[in-house]
Amino acid sequence: MLESSFRIGTIAGIRIGVHYTWFIIFFLLSSSLLALFMDRHPEWDTLTSLLTAAITTLLFFASIILHELGHSLVAIARGIRVQSITLFIFGGVAQTEKESATAATEFWIAIAGPAVSLALAGLFYLLKWWWGGYSAIAFESLDWLMTINLVVALFNLIPGFPLDGGRVFRALVWMATGNAMKGMQWAVLGGRLVAYGLMFMGLLTVLQTGLLINGIWLMGIGWFLLSAAEASGRAYVTDQLVGGLSVGDIMRKDVPVVSAQMSVLDWVDEHVLLSSQRAYLVKQGDSIIGLVTLSDATALPRQQWADTSVREIMTARERLYTVKPSSGVKEVLILMRDHALNQVPVVEAGDIVGWIDREYLLKILQLHSETGR
């Protein structure tokens, strides 16, 4: 999410960002409000309706930031660092550095967001009756903001992951059973049911009313919730599997090595094709100077393979992402994900002592999963 967003500010040390998809929902929502206000108040000129719609939309997204800050400030108070809050097409998301350590922490972090939205709905209700009596513009804007914050609070309390209600549900199952994994499994199941329900409602909306945009929007939200629930479930299981593993526990020490002077053609023919190993460390003398992969070779025209040394196409050692034997396996997974890596060398006391490759790591995780370790 962060890779495609830009920073708009910082609150309590938390980076506030906007994903490019936010502009899509801002346009759609402000356009919808413009049509609503023009229909209710034909006496308003177009500029008044447009400005009211735009300002109301911005206040709504300010409410979303406050909702996420509710989660974030409770998380910080509970010892969990929050890296960012990002606005995107389906609302907002806070990125924390780790999962909750206890069911109670999970519960209070999860419930904080809907509590903020409920409080905002109450605040806009009071402002509507105080200020709205003097201005029809203020009344319409505050009335909509009151309603939408109430909807956000209630919708988020639906017990399906990754909605806040799903996190609350997860925490309650965790408390009842003492099993965090079981809590996550039930919350993900709830998320699937909610997602399928929304997609079915979207389909019915299109078939029965012909409101194509509304139906597609419901199906889009359902699809997003389903994808997020499944991804969160997989990520949680992976975190549990690697939580007690260090790089030194599972790294490969028998790393294949190729001479820096060998031609790309000889390396592919004599090593890669015979061993099915796609990556090699590159050695010159007694030193490891880089890493070469089959992708490096295939990026080079084949007619140049015989006259090009492995050294010329390798990634130099100083450009490699590396880890230590004491590093956590989760750190490796993050490196592989963020930088599209298949191999991460392991360095100790300045020497490369092994590596972790993606295929080997996935096999290890699968074995741990199958054995229940």
| Residues classed as catalytic | 68
Give the full edge-to-edge strand order of the sheet including 287-293.
Answer: 257-259, 279-284, 287-293, 315-316
Backbone angles phi, psi at 12, to 5 degrees: 55, 35
Number of residues in the chain: 373
SS3 283: strand
**Nearest one of 64, 30, 91 to 220, comparing CA atoms:** 91
DSSP string covering 57-69: HHHHHHHHHHHHH
Which residue, chain included where needed, has tokens 């408390």? 175
Amino acid symbol at 204: L
Instruction: Tell me the C-alpha to C-alpha distance, in Å, between residue 249 and each of 310, 332, 344, 355.
Output: 31, 13, 15, 11
d(CA 75, CA 124): 26
> Residue 108 half-sphere exposure, CB side, CA atoms within 13 Å?
13
> Beta-carbon neighbour count of residue 343 at 10 Å?
23
**Tokens describing residue 369:** 């999963």
**Nearest one of 222, 230, 246, 241 to 325, comparing CA atoms:** 246
**Nearest one of 140, 145, 147 to 44, comparing CA atoms:** 140
**Which residues fall within 8 angstroms of residue 315, CB to CB, at 6 or more apart?**
290, 291, 292, 293, 296
**Tokens describing residue 51:** 């400005």
